[in-house]
Structure 1
Amino acid sequence: MQHPVSTPIGMTVPDYADRIGFAQLTRRAFEGVDLHPLRDQLVARIAEGAALAGEGLDLSLITQLLGDKEQGLAIQSEVLTFHQLFRTPCAGPKPGLRVLALAADIDMGGNTPIEFLLEGSDIELLTLYVVKGVGLPEKLPDHDVAIVVASDSEECREALALIEKAAPHWPRPLLNRPDLIGNLDRDKLYRLLTGVSGLDIPATVHATRAQLSSLSEGRIACEDIAGELHFPMIARPRGSHAGVGLAKLDDASALAAYLAEREEQDFFVARFVDYVSPDGLYRKYRLAMVDGKPYACHMAIADRWDIWYLNAYMAFSEEKRAEEAIFMLDFDHAFAARHRSALDEMSRRVGLDYFIVDCAENQDGELLVFEADNTAVVHNMDSPVVFPYKPPQMRNIFAAFAAMLSRHGEASEGGAT
């Protein structure tokens, strides 16, 4: 029965379904394990009518990992029509803390991959999918602390709105509150962070295909879309991630060619910032902000501006990895110290307990912010042989995240029993 969201919310013993889960299955795929046999086994169980809800959700994820996003989402939505609560057990025999993650019915990258952050801990994770037409249950599963893991994307808006209505009556501490997650959208983030001393964030503005077509044809100027916009500019389809559709456009003819290749109707555009280092290389950083404190996640180095970790080919360069290792080792008294004021103010304005920042340093030495979100992957899957400096750093982040949850959990009325 759906909760009316305007009255106090009770709690009850959870009726969950166990699953292999996001972290384990993604790790298997990352390590090159063939997931087809497991997929076929789960499909057979469904055909026999013997599959459990957790197995159905695992099948959805495996299908997405194998490249069929549409079919994977169809399986997930079907499973979620009859079961919304799933458990990922803790590493120990008894949980020291019970965390309730509030997720949306979206693809595998649309919710915070919290399972990675809890690997090896004594924290039991319950994930409750807040589904359209179903909403929140009349009584929540018993937990010590809750955290919203749905993203700021359009597909999550209804789930976030349902959680936001219930938030004032939540029986336990609720982290990453839904009203704050909405501020991470690219255009809203610029408005939120503009004016922070020592921080550079280009105005990211929404532009329609019609506006950009007019610009490419010379019928309007860049400033007619946004005051600080000029060529060269960065364009991407609205709602895209991981570099999909991202392009640097040097002039109107480049814009016209870009539009001819894209079918989307809505885009984000921003001025291009050339953040190249004196040695001709670009350096892009991913930080995790946990309880207001920054932690280094990775450093990507490449000879191209449009970099992320995979296309920087860090695994093939001992020199790059040595620089990343120093970046992590010296982070607190080097990068974090240089940008402490900007990072502190950004954390205060964003207001979330946990979020991720992709950033660089511009040629004036300021913190150049590209994006902030609550769903970027922070993991410990990289080879400890190739990246020996990473596991200790990842464990530091995981420990900080667990400590944050525990601190809030201790403030709740009950503990795990």
Structure 2
Amino acid sequence: MLHSDSAPVTAPAYSDRIGFAQLTRHAFEGGDLHPLRERLLARIADGIAEAGEGLDLSLIAQLLGEKEAGLVIQTEVLAFHQLFRTPCGLPKPRLRVLALAADIDMGGNTPIEFLLEGSDIELLTLYVIKGVGLPETLPDHDVAIVVASDSEECREALAVIAQAAPRWPRPLLNRPELIGNLDRDKLYRLLADIPGLDIPVTANATRAQLMALSEGQIACAEITGELHFPMIVRPRGTHAGVGLAKIDDAAALKAYLAERQEQDFFVARFVNYASPDGLFRKIRLTMVDGKPYACHMAIADRWDIWYLNAYMAFSEEKRAEEAIFMQDFDHDFAARHKDALDEMSRRVGLDYFIVDCAENQDGELLVFEADNTAVVHNMDPPAVFPYKPPQMRKIFAAFTAMLSRHAAGEGSAA
């Protein structure tokens, strides 16, 4: 743990790794990760593998769908080594960033490597491990950023970082005490009364409560005041649509619970955000230093959209609309919702976060969720999405500029 008023820094004993961005890109582009996995397993068997190679093997297992095996490997590696380097493309980096991560699956920490791709910034990742905490002396760095998420598994890591934060020797971004506000039920309380912003009450409901509701023993309002059928239900702690369902009535709720094993759920009123043409448009924004950037717009005939199930690659018409959305974003969507976005950013308080949103049928900014770990990447094929690489590079440039400003002691531009 850090004890002194100004925590000492030292030359880092890091282990190099290929890292999240390169391995994920390889898998995304259809590459075969099995040969690399076999090579890494052989090096481990021969007793010559470095810690970074072990962490790469963990990630490969997760990318191949073997999540539990991957997490076992990761925990074993982190038990004896916590600091890793993802080298930048230049022999002499301009800046060194220290990312503070938790021992969690590959989606549980901000995938910062994508944001630094092609930059002159070197990334060190320090895993804050249960029972180990932070080292006595921190690795030398110019700026630090907390990349652990708001999930239950990261709470201890965030608490350890929060305890050390007042004495941090360099600028510390995405401060740990603010990340917990992104949890679905807390985010509502944070943003609820912002003019021009609509965020449904998201409430925790136990399985017993939902069973009682499905059997008519309690009313929706006994869970939370504005709740009514149709409602949205999802198991607490899940992402990417796992277990997400629109429930129209008590009978549908009973059928849903019969198929789920979880004990805790989030519930919220359903908002019909269909546009006049009957299609739903779900938008991902990246907030950097208080400024919004368009990340994507998914268009589909279903309310439960994420980018992959909108099949944007198969529709020239949808892609043309997304391209115009990005091109006109600053003087259209961002200008229209400027006051709501500014106030949301101020209340959330993080230097970098992602918002999934839409516009409701009254034209307000409809916020679904905010987090600090969604993947913002430049992996979509430019032949199909020619408008995306310039937009992604714009986001990456804003992110690296933010790091540089803070490293230079200039603080936020917002």
Give the TM-score range, shorter chain: over 0.9
* Pair 1:246 & 2:244 matched: yes
* Pair 1:262 & 2:251 matched: no
**Is the Cα contact below 8 Å between 1:5 and 1:165 reproduced in 2?**
no
Q: Which residue of 1 aligns with 2:189?
A: 191
- Residues 116-141 of structure 1, C-alpha deviation per residue, up to 9 Å, x if partnerless? 00000000000000000111000000
What amino acid sits opposite 2:184 in the alignment?
Answer: R
SS in 1 for 2:320: helix
* Identity of matched residues, %: 83
Q: Which residue of 1 aligns with 2:222?
A: 224
What is the CA distance between 1:7 and its match in structure 2? 4.6
Q: Which residue of 2 aligns with 1:100?
A: 98
Q: Which residue of 2 aligns with 1:205?
A: 203
Distance, in Å, in 2 between the alignment partners of 1:135 and 1:275 is 44
What is the CA distance between 1:396 and its match in structure 2? 0.2
**Is the Cα contact below 8 Å between 2:2 and 2:137 reproduced in 1?**
no
Distance, in Å, in 2 between the alignment partners of 1:143 and 1:4 is 15
**Is the Cα contact below 8 Å between 2:378 and 2:388 reproduced in 1?**
yes
**Is the Cα contact below 8 Å between 1:206 and 1:266 reproduced in 2?**
yes
- Residues 44-95 of structure 1, C-alpha deviation per residue, up to 9 Å, x if partnerless? 1101111000000000000000000000000000000110000011121211
Distance, in Å, in 1 between the alignment partners of 2:175 and 2:231 is 33
Q: Which residue of 2 aligns with 1:371?
A: 369
**Is the Cα contact below 8 Å between 2:99 and 2:123 reproduced in 1?**
yes
Q: TM-score, normalised by structure 1?
A: 0.98
The farther-off stretch of 173-182 and 83-92 is: 83-92
What amino acid sits opposite 1:389 in the alignment?
Answer: Y
Distance, in Å, in 1 between the alignment partners of 2:96 and 2:135 is 18
What amino acid sits opposite 2:254 in the alignment?
Answer: A
Provide structure 1 residue ranges, at least 5 long, that are not aligned to the other structure. 413-417
**Is the Cα contact below 8 Å between 1:64 and 1:108 reproduced in 2?**
yes
Provide structure 2 residue ranges, at least 5 long, that are not aligned to the other structure. none
**Is the Cα contact below 8 Å between 1:6 and 1:165 reproduced in 2?**
no
Distance, in Å, in 2 between the alignment partners of 1:79 and 1:121 is 28
What is the CA distance between 1:9 and its match in structure 2? 1.3
Q: Which residue of 2 aligns with 1:385?
A: 383
Q: Which residue of 2 aligns with 1:111?
A: 109
What amino acid sits opposite 1:380 in the alignment?
Answer: N
Distance, in Å, in 1 between the alignment partners of 2:191 and 2:309 is 28
Question: What are the equivalent positions in structure 2 for 1:231-380 lying under 5 Å apart?
Answer: 231-380=229-378
Q: TM-score, normalised by structure 2?
A: 0.98
- Residues 378-412 of structure 1, C-alpha deviation per residue, up to 9 Å, x if partnerless? 00000000000000000000000000000000119
Distance, in Å, in 2 between the alignment partners of 1:376 and 1:84 is 23
**Is the Cα contact below 8 Å between 1:176 and 1:353 reproduced in 2?**
yes
CA 1:302 to 1:118, structure 2 compared with 1: closer, same or farther past 3 Å?
same
Q: Pairwise CA RMSD of aligned residues?
A: 0.8
**Is the Cα contact below 8 Å between 1:6 and 1:166 reproduced in 2?**
no
What amino acid sits opposite 1:298 in the alignment?
Answer: H
- Residues 193-239 of structure 1, C-alpha deviation per residue, up to 9 Å, x if partnerless? 01000000000000000000000000000000000000000000000
- Residues 242-290 of structure 1, C-alpha deviation per residue, up to 9 Å, x if partnerless? 0000000000000000000000000000000000000010000000000
Distance, in Å, in 2 between the alignment partners of 1:227 and 1:20 is 49
SS in 2 for 1:298: strand
Q: Which residue of 1 aligns with 2:122?
A: 124
- Residues 145-167 of structure 1, C-alpha deviation per residue, up to 9 Å, x if partnerless? 00000000000000000000000
Q: Which residue among 51, 72, 75 is the counterpart of 1:74?
A: 72
Distance, in Å, in 2 between the alignment partners of 1:339 and 1:94 is 41
SS in 2 for 1:57: helix
Q: Which residue of 1 aligns with 2:85?
A: 87
What is the CA distance between 1:8 and its match in structure 2? 3.3
Q: Which residue of 2 aligns with 1:20?
A: 18
Q: Which residue of 2 aligns with 1:144?
A: 142
Deviation beyond 4 Å, 4+ runs, structure 1: 4-7
Distance, in Å, in 2 between the alignment partners of 1:40 and 1:234 is 43
Q: Which residue among 47, 50, 58 is the counterpart of 2:48?
A: 50
**Is the Cα contact below 8 Å between 2:2 and 2:135 reproduced in 1?**
no
Q: Which residue of 2 aligns with 1:415?
A: none
